[in-house]
Structure 1
Amino acid sequence: MIKAIFFDLFFTLVYPCYLDENEYNVIGISSSEWEKYAENRMLYNERAKGKIKTEREIIDKIVNSMPYILTDEQKQSILQKREERMKRALLTVDNKIIEILGRIHVRGVKTGLISNADIIDIKYWNESPLCELFDSVIFSCDVGMLKPETGIYQLAMKTLNVKPEESIFVGDGGSNELCGAQNAGMKTIFTEYLDCKTVNQKEKINKYADYHINSFDEILKYID
């Protein structure tokens, strides 16, 4: 019997799409070049594990790794645009997702969040309509662990007092999260409701997916 469903956040429940004006526009580079530096594994792990304590320091670390010299004003503008993008993602949630999370609760199943995120990513979490729909929230920057580390899933299950065989993890497959969930003993659902993957990406992710969904309401059939 399933007693808890755990969800990834970005690209599973919210989509942090770029806006009309974004971080990379301040520098005059492409989004792909910006991502190359912003998602550098070493820098990402540092901030997503909570080792960087201020929003501005996160931006400083990213831009200082680039071959460009930026003014203090430009750095502040990048921070503002990144915060605006994440705020919009957290506050603009698909209605079907909100509906299904509510229906899960009605069925007596607990909900948990397990997200790799830094302090900028989660700054507006408490204002999100998602906030009140979760019984437990685990952000990597708060606990010093990242998916797919087994420990972060174990902590989430311990928080809700459920066993692995009573748990399902739902995610888009980023950060090898479904593999991590399976290693922790959970069943896994690969969702493409918000973000459709390429054929090659699907092939890799499906290796660690017990189930696959394209519509968010399909989750309900796995908790009956």
Structure 2
Amino acid sequence: MKTKAIFFDLFETLITEFSDGRRISNRSYNYMELLGLAAEEFKKEWGSRQQKRMTGFFSDYPAVLKDILENRNLKYYDEAVQYLYQERIQEKMIPFVNIRSDIIELLENLRNNNIKIGLISNCTEEEVRYWHGSMLAQYFDKIIFSYEVGIAKPDVKIYQLACEGLSVTPEETIFVGDGGSNELDGANSAGLRVYHAIWFNTYVESNYKKIDKPKEIIKEI
């Protein structure tokens, strides 16, 4: 069946937060000093709220911190929370600044071949604050941010919603992602053709066809 549309994951597929295996931004915050919580304990609390963060249960980053602090019977200091919030916004801006040229070339090629282009991203509002000002946004016909729709990958409903948004069937659609959040299995279960992007992230294992260069996707359409 002819391919009519392609959906991409965002982080570690179109943009990356890492360079040479290390996170680009400096995340060495003193959570004990700022929040009264050790870094490892903060990480545990943060991770336990992953699903609720991705599906918009929490309205924003400060709301997550408030929930963590209340759960730990710690005082909420607005100045400290706002400092961490602004730092996170700036941290999440970095990947949008330098988009790889071969990613742009791929999107140009798809558009020139009349392939509809969509995005399905598990994210929170501060993580994609700079999406609309980036070079990427102009190429996309449909954008699905999990926190806005209340559904996150790998739930098949988010892929179905995406296909409906472009008026295509899953069988006419490709999904490309690095494999985080079990997104490849979710896309496969929803009936999309799945490709595993490994040009940024090589750490996720899968049985799906691996693509190590963005331009190689064109051969699969």
Query: Which TM-score band (shorter chain)?
Result: 0.7 to 0.9
Distance in 2 between residues matched to 1:20 and 1:191, nearest whole Å: 23
Letter in 2 for 1:39: G
1:186 corresponds to 2:187: no
* Superposition map of 1:67-216 within 5 A: 71-197=77-203, 201-202=204-205, 205-206=206-207, 209=208, 211-216=209-214
TM-score (norm 2): 0.86
Match of residue 4 from structure 1: 5
Task: Give the letter aligned to residue 47 of structure 2.
Answer: E
What is the distance in 1 between the residues matched to 2:31 and 2:162?
A: 39
Q: CA RMSD in A?
A: 2.3
* Matched letter for residue 9 of structure 2: D
2:41 aligned with 1:37, yes or no? no
Q: How many residue pairs align between the two structures?
A: 212
TM-score with structure 1 setting the length: 0.85
Superposition deviation, residue 80 in structure 1: 1.5
Structure 1 residue 71: Cα displacement:
4.0
CA distance in 2, matches of 1:62, 1:125: 27
Residue 73 of structure 1: how far off its partner (Å): 2.8
The change in CA–CA distance for 1:176 and 1:71 in structure 2 (over 3 A counts) is same
Structure 2 counterpart of 1:27, which letter?
A: Y
Report the Cα distance in structure 1 between the residues aligned to 2:50 and 2:77, rounded to whole angstroms.
Answer: 23
Q: 1:21 aligns with which of 8, 26, 32?
A: 26
Say if 1:54 and 1:189 are closer, same or farther in 2 by CA, change over 3 A. same
Pair 1:149–1:67, CA change in 2 (3 A): same
Q: Which whole-Å CA distance do the structure 2 matches of 1:66 and 1:170 have between them? A: 39
Q: Secondary structure at the match of 2:159?
A: helix
Contact 2:25-2:91 at 8 Å conserved across structures: no
* Closer/same/farther in 2, CA of residues 218 and 20 from structure 1, 3 Å limit: closer
Partner SS, residue 120 of structure 1: helix
1:84-125 residue CA offsets vs partner (Å, 9 max, x unmatched): 111112233212111111111111111110111111112221
For structure 1, list consecutive stretches of 5 or more residues without a partner in the other structure: none
Q: Is the 8 A contact 1:26 1:77 kept in 2?
A: no
Distance in 1 (alpha carbons) for counterparts of 2:142 and 2:97? 19
1:74 CA drift (Å)? 2.5
